[in-house]
Homo-oligomer: A and B are copies of this chain.
Amino acid sequence: MAGKHRQTCSIAGFLNLFGDAWSLMIVREALYGSTRFSEFQRNTGAARNLLSERLSTLVAHGILEKVDVGTVGARHAYHITPKGESLRPLMAAIILWSNEHLYPDGQAPNSVIHRQTGAELEGLDDLLNPALGDSRCKVAAGPGASAAARKRLGSLE
């Protein structure tokens, strides 16, 4: 990833790492258990050079760990790190939003299932803390906000 954004913004920071068509597909694969280059290639459909570049970026940012598995042919494996694992609820949120808004009823490609009960989450609301209520959240300037962002975000509803 080029890291296109210079803005001090948590969304921009995320997009500097994941703002492309492939990085989250690779994370998906790692969370599904893929570890080898050939598995990532087969399961995402990414071109070799693109996949190689994205894997290196994800390793550099600590989302994946590159492990030398010491055999000839496919010498390296890519393992998901705790930082990568921490993306799991975000991926669940994306799937649930996507199912609600991009697919007709009954045609959702993926389901999100509660591990312990086996119950299917019916929508993004099921993933969210009900204590937050309907009006939920707004965004404000954080401790690391620029002066410009602080001024702007301070006036938001």
Contacts of A83 in B (CB 8 A): 101
Partner pick for A89 among B4, B16, B137, CB 8 A cutoff: B137
Chain A interface mostly: mixed
If the complex has contacts A45-B7, A107-B144, are A90 and B94 also in contact, measured as CB distance less than 8 A? yes
Within 8 A of B (CB), among A52-105: 83, 86-95, 97-103
**Cα-based distance from A44 to B110 in the complex (angstroms):** 32
Decide if B11 touches A99 in the complex (CB within 8 Å).
Answer: no
A14 — which chain B residues lie within 8 A by C-beta?
94-95, 97-98, 102
What's the tally of chain A residues with a CB closer than 8 Å to chain B? 83
Interface pair A113/B138, CB less than 8 Å apart: yes
Number of identical monomers bound together in the oligomeric complex: 2
Task: State A124–B100 Cα separation when bound (angstroms).
Answer: 21
Q: In the complex the two chains form, is A93's CB within 8 Å of B90's CB?
A: yes
Whether B32 pairs with A128 at a CB distance below 8 angstroms is no
Q: A10-B94, A89-B136, A109-B142 are in contact. List 18 more A-B contacts (CB 8 A).
A: A5-B25, A11-B25, A11-B28, A13-B103, A14-B97, A14-B98, A19-B19, A31-B139, A32-B153, A32-B156, A90-B93, A95-B139, A109-B141, A110-B141, A111-B143, A113-B139, A115-B137, A127-B137
Using a CB–CB cutoff of 8 Å, the interface residues on chain A facing chain B are: 1-2, 4-17, 19-22, 24-25, 28, 31-33, 45, 83, 86-95, 97-103, 106-116, 120-121, 124, 126-130, 132-133, 135-146, 149, 152-153, 156-157
